[in-house]
Structure 1
């Protein structure tokens, strides 16, 4: 099969599997990213997320993850909900965690994707990645023309905003590559201005150690007292810098039933959250990304908010 036909097949298959966008880049060393990552780590912006210091070379060179890699296929999978529960809930969780864990849902699709490529084209070797390995997913998505990296460091897409997951297939198949697009943030600083913990100290740079998502998910110890009163009732993750982004006015509700929240989640009061039991936690979040904090972590976050009052 000719390279152009292979590329067309890959893109058509991505669409058929429910991915909103598919962009392709040449698998090569990300030389422009290396100094940025080094500087970010040097500033300590990763906080206690020490795993971000690991596998530095692999983060920048996909051929170290997949020997003989030729192409990085970057994909967007929408998770924007039909209803924003944070608009009416007393305590809030990030939209991406409403339903089933995206690692499971999207990884299954990627495995099917790779199977279909192998069935159609032949012996193609590769690996699938969904936010769980040292892959610079936003850099690859930007290279593949899926959008640009915004001032809040997230990938922005002109027709879908930023409420989506990024995923990649790194394969040893040569494909036609896409071109990146320009930055459309302009002079807007809405995300920077809205962040209550000042986690965006300069455009395009996020201090992860000050992010509400870091405090409520990644940080395993006590939450520092100096951020009391700044969480705006978020108990798992935070969507503030995305909610205020003008490009998210173009986001469209997803069509993935597995991302829909359990009905009970919509009606949780502050008192319900305070009294949450192991059984209720399992019922609401048995297959959810919220499992990352476990019940103990979620209770810590709720108590921290109560201490603000």
Structure 2
């Protein structure tokens, strides 16, 4: 191993911290052996529902060297999005991650800065930045890099900060010092399984994506099946129930990223305000938000479904 490997690893971790990332971990790029049978089984059981893209690029999804030729390392990064304030009680709810500016833009920008820094300080390094925008198994890589363990709700959990964070990665052709995975600290707790309104966590560590409220309110393009009526617990975009009940989220601290702060109106709106929302108000509140994924019509469909 190159004597500079350790130095480069530390440099990247320090810069990641300076850019506002919660933590940064390194893994050797290669085939994800343990994930392969899991992903195959999940797809065979149709747990991806209408998310057809999950079945595409199976090989690339499991091996970043096929996605980024010549890559040697996966640099995994976490960015906190836990908000200072949440929506008013008794209103229709949106997932906390969608309160502010769409995370894709915010994180992509930080990743570009990090890649630029690596090229300035270390030399010519080739690679690509990913924010759940390509077939990369973010959570598996973050777990492999020691940033947390995969909880029973299939989200990554960190002992220090809980689970309200985004995961992103740089896949680069630079050899680094690699981190080791941490142990699982879910123990006998089943809080997330017991609390899931649609029973989407079919067994510990397995989520049936096609039963998840996030799937119905964001990914599903058609009408929401009537048998789901009354099960959505007032969630109109995404769902945080499994994270809200997780004991490790007692350690969540509010983020320091101004771009993730919501439009103040979002926090104040009541159910009747949402039911009467106009396109103009939607565009103002969700100007650069991830809520644009479901769009004005999609959000209206979700609200109608909750109201009926």
Range class of TM-score, shorter chain:
over 0.9
The answer as to 2:173 corresponding to 1:183 is no
Shift of 1:65: 1.4
Shift of 1:128: 0.3
The 3-state SS of whatever aligns with 1:127 is strand
The runs of 5 or more residues in structure 1 that have no matched partner are none
The answer as to 2:76 corresponding to 1:80 is no
The 3-state SS of whatever aligns with 1:301 is helix
Shift of 1:84: 2.3
The answer as to 2:280 corresponding to 1:279 is yes
Question: Aligned equivalents of 2:270 and 2:15: distance in 1?
Answer: 43
Match of 1:174 in 2: 175
Question: What pairs with 1:247-258 in structure 2 (closer than 5 Å)?
Answer: 247-258=248-259
> TM-score under structure 1 normalisation?
0.98
- Answer whether contact 2:71 2:171 (CA < 8 A) is retained: yes
Task: Please give the per-residue CA displacement for 1:259-302, whole angstroms capped at 9, x wherever unaligned.
Answer: 00101111111111111111101000010000000100000000
The alignment of Structure 1 onto Structure 2 pairs a total of residues equal to: 306
> TM-score under structure 2 normalisation?
0.98
Task: Please give the per-residue CA displacement for 1:43-71, whole angstroms capped at 9, x wherever unaligned.
Answer: 11001100100000000010111111010
Match of 2:132 in 1: 131
Question: What pairs with 1:1-309 in structure 2 (closer than 5 Å)?
Answer: 2-85=4-87, 88-307=89-308
The runs of 5 or more residues in structure 2 that have no matched partner are none
The 3-state SS of whatever aligns with 2:40 is helix
- Answer whether contact 1:89 1:268 (CA < 8 A) is retained: no
- Answer whether contact 1:158 1:247 (CA < 8 A) is retained: yes
Moved more, 288-297 or 273-282: 273-282
- Answer whether contact 2:86 2:267 (CA < 8 A) is retained: no
Task: Please give the per-residue CA displacement for 1:151-194, whole angstroms capped at 9, x wherever unaligned.
Answer: 00000000110000000000000000001000000000000000
Question: Aligned equivalents of 2:121 and 2:91: distance in 1?
Answer: 50
Moved more, 267-276 or 241-250: 267-276
The 3-state SS of whatever aligns with 1:77 is strand
The 3-state SS of whatever aligns with 1:159 is coil
Question: Aligned equivalents of 1:61 and 1:119: distance in 2?
Answer: 28
RMSD: 0.8
